[in-house]
Structure 1
């Protein structure tokens, strides 16, 4: 390694560590008011700060910096579990797997779905004709 390469690496490392400290302080300042703000939203908030301080850091570098300093926020699981298929109750076989409907009203199937409404769920059940794909009946 040449002397020039050694000193260039040394000065660059010192400069990037100073920039990283500035970014971490700003992230901590933002997180004081927004404790659960994720990295992508932080990146948007930090754009003006990084422009003012002439810091060039991309999203992935910010992710790595926050991960190295244990500042990443875990994502919340927003999915609601509505189906549990590993239950101990009897599961019936699929009797219509090989059946092909060639006319209306030969085979009806049903399904249930839900909507989250304020703090509760609304469930709707449909009965559908397989051949015409028409809804034969429903219940909310």
Structure 2
């Protein structure tokens, strides 16, 4: 820090006068110390940091500037660049880089009438799977566009965090959610994967309680699971995906 400060002002005041003023201010640095620092070779850590900064900036820019330290860390490790997450946090902070913050969820609809019969909650907020096709979570969200509201449905495999099905529509009819489910089932069955016994978890949205939707789950021998009314934590993983989608792809 002191060396950088002297570099900024040496052409105007000279090194020795700056060191004198700094000494009077209680900051000890001799001119010889400054010159030694200028001629000293960069440390191995400084060289490594400079290389990592370039990698971090490349990954950050390639992902539209929305990735924070956690995702930059995962991205670099996928590319074979081994680095600690705390190092990425330190370097991003020094370079003024950060991920995009998420907006707080807005409540846009209010349920009316009493509850209808629903399957039990087989997840109980434990979003854990030990293999693919054990647990899928589903939800839909809204996106404001210049042409009006657009609605997006997702189906997420809890084990791999892979979006196995999705659909976009300008209305909230059952087909929106059903098309996303069909995409996931078709892709898995085409790959020869068995989805028998799959737990499909969602909120109490009418799209997921529609007869056509529940019949499709029954045909695939999947088991429906539904959270309680008006509690987003019961479908927290799907809600988090919606938030991430809006933060990284829409805003």
| TM class by smaller structure | 0.3 to 0.5
TM-score, length of structure 1 as denominator length: 0.44
Between structures 1 and 2, the one with greater helix share: 2
TM-score, length of structure 2 as denominator length: 0.27
- Give 1 or 2 for the bigger CA radius of gyration: 1
